[in-house]
Amino acid sequence: MPTPEVRNVDPALIARAADWVATAERVVALTGAGVSAESGVPTFRGAGGFWRGRDLMELATPAAFARDPELVWSFYNDRRAKLATVEPNPAHRALVEIERRVPHFTLATQNVDRLHQRAGSRRVLELHGAIDEVRCSDCGRTSNRAGETLPALPRCDACGGLLRPGVVWFGESLPTGVFEQAEAEARAADVVLVIGTSALVYPAASLARLGRRVVEVNPDATPLSSEVTLSLRGKAGEIVPQLVPRTP
């Protein structure tokens, strides 16, 4: 992999990445919390990475939920309430346009906020589940509770079991087949766009090392930055719209 050219959002590099997307048959976008940052959704490891002084790793685990389900539910209910007030941003909308213009496009997201789907993305692989889905800890029933205010300890209508957020916690396996599908798409991709992720969480981050050309979009350097083909140092909302193929 040639050494990446890192610039402060050099227009010539953006143009090169845009040309790669415009001439690609198969594109995969791997997104993280940074793609939703300009919608006002706090990222995990940036300034907003702590919730009431607690780290994500203390809350997004089965052990935390077993120990204090009410605390974990208040963490997720606070985030759900926040998500009810935000909108997709230009980066989400640009990815919808890229999906429309590229012959074979796949969006693999680590995010659980469903802002990609609200923007109109169709081929979305949710690697870490979705915050509006809930699952019964006892009978396993799942349901979509988008827009609802849930009680402090929501119970299953069918069996009375304790419901849990339908997200993948640390130490839990990703939904069967979803990662494998994303991995196969990334391996076959002409371009993998890695947008707004600190590339610290696995196995999702491993997708960013596949694909013929990898373009990172992030205002900060990440462990990936030294390995990608092109690292564009800037905000998703500013750069991703410039990667949309211009229809002739």
- Judged by the rule CB under 6 A, the positions of this chain that interact with ligand BV8 are 32-34, 37-38, 43-46, 49, 60, 110-112, 128, 167-173, 196-198, 200-203, 217-220, 222, 235-236
Which of residues 69, 161, 234, 245 is near Zn ion by CB under 5 A? 161
* Residue 26 vs 230, nearer CB to ligand BV8: 230
* Residue 10 vs 138, nearer CB to Zn ion: 138
Confirm or reject binding of residue 137 to Zn ion (CB under 5 A): no
Min CB(135)–Zn ion separation in Å: 9
Min CB(134)–Zn ion separation in Å: 10
Confirm or reject binding of residue 163 to Zn ion (CB under 5 A): no
Residue 128 is among the residues annotated as catalytic for this protein: yes
* Residue 136 vs 244, nearer CB to Zn ion: 136
Which of residues 15, 139, 152, 153 is near Zn ion by CB under 5 A? 139
DSSP letters for the chain = -PPPEEESS-HHHHHHHHHHHHT-SEEEEEE-THHHHTTTPPPSSSGGGEETTEEHHHHSSHHHHHH-HHHHHHHHHHHHHHHTT----HHHHHHHHHHHHSSEEEEEE--SS-HHHHHT--SEEETTEEEEEEEETTT--EEE-TTPPPPSS-B-TTT-PBEEEEEPPTTSPPPTTHHHHHHHHHHH-SEEEEES--S-STTGGGGGG-SSEEEEE-SS--TTTTTSSEEE-S-HHHHGGGGSPPP-
Catalytic, out of 92, 104, 116, 128? 128
Which of the choices ligand BV8, Zn ion, none does residue 220 contact, using the CB cut-off of 5 to 8 A by kind?
ligand BV8
- Quickly tell me which residue has 């990898």 as its tokens: 214
65 burial (CB, 10 Å; 0-12 / 13-18 / 19+) is buried
Which of residues 136, 215, 217, 232 is near Zn ion by CB under 5 A? 136
Confirm or reject binding of residue 243 to Zn ion (CB under 5 A): no
* Residue 158 vs 184, nearer CB to Zn ion: 158
Catalytic residue numbers read: 128
Residues of this chain that interact with Zn ion (CB under 5 A) are 136, 138-139, 141, 156, 158-159, 161
